[in-house]
Chain A
Amino acid sequence: MKKKLLMACVVVALPLLVSCGSSEKERATQVAASAPTVLVEDAWVRATIGAKDTTMTAAFMSLTNPGNADIKLTSATSPAAGMVQLHEMAMKDGKMVMQEKAGGINVPAGSHAHLAPSGDHVMLMQLTKALKPGDEVPVTLKFSDGTSHDLTVPVKAFTEEEEHYHPSETPTS
């Protein structure tokens, strides 16, 4: 969990370290230390068991950016879903609708992005099978700083705002 942050630093620093001398090694370490990547916490996926539409669901999580430059969550993939999009909830013609978030989900410098029901979320579509509480779903997140996070996300039962994730009209972006 929190370790993800450290791991990512190591991944960034390592290729540089291998190929450079001691002065550059120092610089590479500094670069890695001064450009920490996003910390992913409290991820979960809503179960589809009992839902009207069992072909899609959403993943939620907290993203923390301890660095001093904004980082964007630019894409996500999962072997459990044929298509994955980053979505937001927006008012359209006086109605709250779900739509693809242009440019991805921003994680402001020194702050958080909370992906939560009724807000931004990672939409998992064309699910290969029903997801029931107690399952785990692999999800890979890609960020604008070039890092990626491989997560194992638990599937949990949840009932709130179900209609938001199963709109009668196809959302447009």
Chain B
Amino acid sequence: MLGYAGVAVAGAVAGGAGGVAAARRADDASHQAAEMVARDISPYGEHQPAIAALSPKHAELVALNLLPGTNKAALGRLMRLWTADIVALTAGRPAPGDTAPELAVPNAALTVTVGLGARVFALTGSKPAGFDDLPVMRHDRLQAAWSGGDLLLLVGADDAVSVVHAVRRLVADAAPFARPAWRQTGFWNGTGPDGQPVTGRNLFGQVDGTGNPAPGTPDFDATVWADTPDWFRGGTTLVVRRIKLNLDTWDELTRSEQERAVGRKLSTGAPLTGSAEHDELDIEARDADGRLVIAENAHARLSHHSENDGRRIFRKGLNYVQDTGPTRENGLIFLSYQADVAGQFLPLLARLDASDALNEWTTTIGSAVFALPPGFTESGWLAQALLG
């Protein structure tokens, strides 16, 4: 609607989409035309909006630990503060008290998702069923520097400057209540050459996330949105795992070896038994020698819901690189959304840990679990039903 006029004028000078937005703000008559290019995502709704939205091009996750004096009332103040920041920043307005207001720009598809770690529920009670930190898996090599956390900020946008600016404001405003424990920066290309959304690829080159339930379907709703306790209706849980990919040894494999490990074709992401990305897996199919086409230990078979008593998750990923001097570590920030961590995610994780062929080239070095409160309305604030 009517925005922060000072910024709108700055946007016009900067040109491009910002100029269009400025025109919209200055002149309501052009509202409809400008609406077509607007990429702002409303912060309001039944659910936090980024969860079911496409993966952002750029994202940062920040886990924070509560300071000793932060009690339930203080958490409420923090959530009201963050809510006001999110409302302003996602509309392209500076956060209240913004020290670099010109960095807040509209049309960047900025989203902020907030999560609560297990320690919050020690202060509030009403912990969602099945919400606990994950046990350490046999293949895990977890580092404290990438694990745990009492609060989560997941900020995404089409542009890295907007992400960094929003994180800066949200972390600065949280300073009286909580301090960062870890930060992870990632990126994803979910847009095809024709501009249409695509599943996107991890740094192994695999199409990653094909098996997801589609947002807006009953399958998605049943997989992702929680019902209980009351305050958590419309919320979900998020597992964040930092998975190091050993590209050196992966690159030593032939393409057919790489495809066998996953059970999908590298070219399209289609199952080895199919021809298009979204073809169903034929897990019974055998080749001329009687061997399973999709191997017993192929990642796609082990993670498929038909092999997991129908349990599903909603997967997203962010690629990352971590540079230390001349050395680069490559990896995937694995994000899994599900209503119930213990009921849906943990059995799947245990199964993959036991026998996934990909374990040879992947090592999980960080792990954290957060409850994502439901969304908020224009008169409400984040986690109000828990903290209000």
Residues of A at the B interface (CB closer than 8 Å) are 1-3, 7, 39, 41-44, 46, 60-62, 64, 66, 111-112, 114, 132-136, 152, 154, 156-160
Select which of A39, A41, A157, A158 is within 8 A of B88 by beta carbon: A41
Query: Given the interface contacts A2-B378, A64-B2, does A43 sit within 8 Å of B96 by beta carbon?
Result: yes
**Complexed CA–CA distance, A88 and B378 (Å):** 30
Select which of A2, A66, A114, A132 is within 8 A of B176 by beta carbon: A132
A134 touches B93 (CB 8 A): no
Query: Given the interface contacts A66-B2, A114-B6, A156-B96, does A3 sit within 8 Å of B379 by beta carbon?
Result: yes
In the assembled complex, which residues on chain A have CB atoms less than 8 Å from the CB atom of B96?
A: 42-44, 60-61, 154, 156
Closest-by-CB residue of B relative to A66 is B2
**Complexed CA–CA distance, A60 and B93 (Å):** 14
- Is B350 part of the binding interface, using a Cβ–Cβ cutoff of 8 Å? no
A134 touches B4 (CB 8 A): no
* Cβ-Cβ contact count across A and B, 8 Å cutoff: 72
- Is B99 part of the binding interface, using a Cβ–Cβ cutoff of 8 Å? yes
Contact code string B344-388 (vs A, CB < 8 Å = 1, else 0) = 000000000000000000000000000000000111000000000
Closest-by-CB residue of A relative to B83 is A1
**Complexed CA–CA distance, A152 and B380 (Å):** 12
**Complexed CA–CA distance, A157 and B378 (Å):** 25
In the assembled complex, which residues on chain A have CB atoms less than 8 Å from the CB atom of B95?
A: 42
Distance to closest chain A CB from B94 (angstroms): 8
For residues 61 through 104 of chain B, which have their beta carbon under 8 Å from a beta carbon of chain A? 74, 77-78, 80-81, 84, 87-88, 93-97, 99
8 contacts across the A-B interface (CB closer than 8 A): A7-B379, A41-B93, A44-B97, A60-B96, A112-B4, A154-B77, A158-B99, A160-B99
Distance to closest chain A CB from B213 (angstroms): 33
Query: Given the interface contacts A42-B96, A60-B96, A154-B80, does A1 sit within 8 Å of B4 by beta carbon?
Result: no
In the assembled complex, which residues on chain A have CB atoms less than 8 Å from the CB atom of B144?
A: none
Interface of B (DSSP majority class) = loop
- Is B175 part of the binding interface, using a Cβ–Cβ cutoff of 8 Å? yes
In the assembled complex, which residues on chain B have CB atoms less than 8 Å from the CB atom of A135?
A: 77
In the assembled complex, which residues on chain A have CB atoms less than 8 Å from the CB atom of B177?
A: 134
Select which of A1, A46, A64, A114 is within 8 A of B87 by beta carbon: A1
Interface centre among A2, A64, A135, A154 (most CB of B within 10 A): A154
**Complexed CA–CA distance, A21 and B93 (Å):** 44
Select which of A3, A111, A114, A132 is within 8 A of B4 by beta carbon: A114
**Complexed CA–CA distance, A2 and B97 (Å):** 19
**Complexed CA–CA distance, A41 and B176 (Å):** 22
Q: How many residues of B contact A (CB 8 A)?
A: 27
Contact code string B92-134 (vs A, CB < 8 Å = 1, else 0) = 0111110100000000000000000000000000000000000
B88 touches A112 (CB 8 A): no
**Complexed CA–CA distance, A169 and B164 (Å):** 41
Given contacts A134-B81, A135-B77, 5 further A-B contacts (CB under 8 A): A39-B2, A66-B2, A112-B5, A154-B173, A159-B99
**Complexed CA–CA distance, A119 and B241 (Å):** 47
**Complexed CA–CA distance, A152 and B173 (Å):** 16
Closest 6 pairs between A and B when the two form their complex, measured CB to CB? A134-B176, A3-B379, A44-B96, A156-B97, A42-B96, A3-B378
Query: Given the interface contacts A3-B378, A114-B5, A134-B74, does A42 sit within 8 Å of B175 by beta carbon?
Result: no
In the assembled complex, which residues on chain B have CB atoms less than 8 Å from the CB atom of A160?
A: 99
For residues 2 through 21 of chain B, which have their beta carbon under 8 Å from a beta carbon of chain A? 2, 4-6
A46 touches B4 (CB 8 A): no
**Complexed CA–CA distance, A158 and B172 (Å):** 11
A152 touches B80 (CB 8 A): yes
Contact code string B162-176 (vs A, CB < 8 Å = 1, else 0) = 000000000011011
Select which of A1, A3, A60, A134 is within 8 A of B97 by beta carbon: A60
Query: Given the interface contacts A152-B80, A154-B84, A160-B99, does A42 sit within 8 Å of B378 by beta carbon?
Result: no
In the assembled complex, which residues on chain A have CB atoms less than 8 Å from the CB atom of B93?
A: 41-42, 62
